[in-house]
């Protein structure tokens, strides 16, 4: 029994090591890879979603702290996104609970299919970012922009839509919002990344706490994921820019689309 427990713990440490390295090298793919990986390792879909969100909340908190120290966060953008995303992420968690109550054992299959659709969407989104040349911005300075009523409403609505998806599937807290920031605000790439990570931290903590309240988190597994992931993120991030970034991201997109197709 002890050997079985030890073997299981090692599997989660290795999973954290794999995903942490991916995030460090490419800056994306954490939730989109971790949730299906946890499902393939045997966790029910709801617990995989909740556990991934708590794991993600801890790692993103550390990233947010680093970006805040370097002045890379647009607090106003993050605020308007969070107004929509935080409450709707809780609504997404409530929807998961409703699916579980209504469908019983069949809920796991339904949640996996929803996850599959999201994975395919995120994979296609990554390809779009590469094809459109938006992985890096050539903007050298932040430009002034006005917070019109239309901009506020659009930002809140995008936050609400994305927040609901994150609460429901744990996927999209970084990649999808990053595209919105790059296409809607005249800010430099570093500020896009910092704002995206800080907003994602608020969003995933709200969703993670809601999943904790719903009993959808395996704390022991999250602990071992972090043991593997945190040092991997730290070490691999030192190599960012020294490896072929575009092929890595295309490979990630292919894996996400394939995983999504298998789940659907």
If one counts the domains in the chain, the total is 1
Look at residue 1 in the predicted model and tell me its pLDDT: 45
Which of 130-134, 171-175, 204-208, 240-244 holds the top average pLDDT?
204-208
What predicted TM-score, i.e. pTM, was given to this entire model? 0.82
Element (H, E) at 74: none
Enclosing domain of residue 12: 2-263
Do 253 and 126 touch, CB atoms closer than 8 A?
Answer: yes
Mean pLDDT computed over 58-78: 85
For residue 28, give the DSSP letter: -
pLDDT digits (tens, 9 = 90+) for 105-119: 778 788 888 888 888
Q: What is the pLDDT of residues 138-182, one digit of tens each?
A: 555 677 788 999 999 999 999 999 999 889 888 877 777 877 887
d(CA 250, CA 255): 9
**125 to 71, 82, 129, 188: CA distances (angstroms):** 28, 22, 6, 20
- Say how many C-beta atoms besides its own lie within 10 A of residue 178's C-beta: 25
């Amino acid at each position: 029994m002890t050997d079985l427990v030890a073997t299981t713990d090692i599997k989660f440490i290795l999973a954290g090591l794999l995903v942490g390295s991916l995030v460090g090298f490419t800056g994306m793919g954490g939730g989109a890879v971790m949730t299906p990986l946890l499902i393939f390792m045997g966790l029910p879909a709801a617990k995989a979603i909740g556990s991934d969100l708590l794991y993600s909340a801890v790692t993103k908190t550390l990233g947010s702290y680093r970006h805040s120290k370097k002045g890379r966060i647009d607090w106003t953008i993050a605020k308007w996104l969070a107004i929509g995303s935080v409450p709707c992420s809780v609504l997404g968690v409530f929807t998961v609970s409703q699916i579980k109550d209504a469908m019983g054992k069949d809920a796991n299959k339904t949640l996996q299919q929803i996850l599959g659709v999201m994975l395919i969407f995120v994979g296609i989104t990554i390809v779009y970012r590469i094809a459109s040349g938006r992985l890096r911005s050539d903007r050298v300075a932040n430009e002034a922009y006005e917070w019109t009523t239309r901009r506020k409403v659009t930002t809140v609505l995008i936050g609400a839509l994305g927040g609901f998806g994150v609460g429901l599937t744990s996927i999209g807290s970084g990649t999808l919002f990053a595209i919105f920031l790059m296409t809607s605000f005249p800010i430099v790439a570093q500020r896009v990344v910092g704002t995206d990570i800080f907003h994602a931290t608020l969003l995933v903590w709200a969703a993670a706490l809601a999943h904790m309240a719903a009993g959808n988190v395996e704390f022991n597994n999250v602990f071992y994921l972090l043991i593997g992931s945190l040092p991997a993120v730290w070490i691999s991030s030192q190599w960012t820019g020294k490896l072929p970034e575009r092929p890595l991201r295309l490979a990630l997109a292919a894996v996400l689309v394939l995983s999504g197709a298998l789940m659907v």
